[in-house]
Amino acid sequence: MAGNEIVVLGRIADPYGIQGWLWLYPFGDDPLAWAEMPTWWIAKDGEPWRECKLKSLKAHGNGVVVLLEGIAGRTDAEAMKGYMVGAPREALPTTEKDEFYWSDLIGLDVINTAGESLGKVAGLIETGANSVLRVVAGDQPERLLPFVSAVVLSVEKEAGLIRVEWGSDW
């Protein structure tokens, strides 16, 4: 399956225990709902996506742990660290008015209220408190903008841009 058809949902972090369980670092609000997807897709950066069956998923402490088919123990689980978890867009629910999949934001132009271009969204970072837009523009330093309503005024996917309250010299 081509990479642009897959929406990245999260990242596999570290092994949990000795039976092949893995910590999942979700990029969305409801990772427990992913248990309803019959097939997950996994890949490392730059590699093709491949199908993977979910055996179990559960909340644990402040996080989520998963058990994937074919992961028999801790050694197998250690090899999975850093894999991205995704799903085909058609397998995902449609978003509400002010909800976005991260993949919908990557590549959008970022314009401030003065009409100045700050660059394009190169990626997002989840900090726990809120997501952060990674904005790059040529040889300028990367900008990190909090994805909060005080900064992000509007997301216009159809126009390919995000309007922000952020100075070009910040």
CATH number at residue 153: 2.30.30.240
**Statement to judge: residues 87 and 9 lie in one domain:** yes
Give pLDDT, residue 147.
Answer: 95
Nearest CA among 83, 87, 31, 85 for reference residue 59: 31
* pLDDT confidence of residue 4: 54
Number of domains in the chain: 2
> What is residue 24's predicted lDDT score, i.e. its pLDDT?
94
CATH of the domain at 49: 2.40.30.60
Name the token pair of 140: 């300028």
Cα 145 to Cα 108: distance, rounded to the nearest angstrom: 14
The fraction of the chain above a pLDDT of 70, given in percent, is 97
CA angle 15, 18, 23 (to 5 degrees): 25
Alpha-helical (H) ranges within 31-87 are 74-79
Q: Looking at the structure, do residues 68 and 146 belong to the same domain, yes or no?
A: no
Question: Same domain for 74 and 130?
Answer: no
Domain carrying residue 49 = 3-91
> Of 60, 91, 122, at which residue does a domain stop?
91
Task: Identify whether residues 147 and 80 lie together within a single domain.
Answer: no
Assigned domain for 36 exists: yes
For all residues of the chain together, what is the average pLDDT?
A: 90
Give the model confidence (pLDDT) of 38-60 as tens digits.
789 999 988 999 999 999 999 99
The tens digit of pLDDT for each residue in 100-159 reads: 888 889 999 999 999 999 999 998 888 878 889 999 998 889 999 999 999 999 999 999
For residue 4, give the amino acid letter: N
Decide which of 79 and 102 is more confident: 79
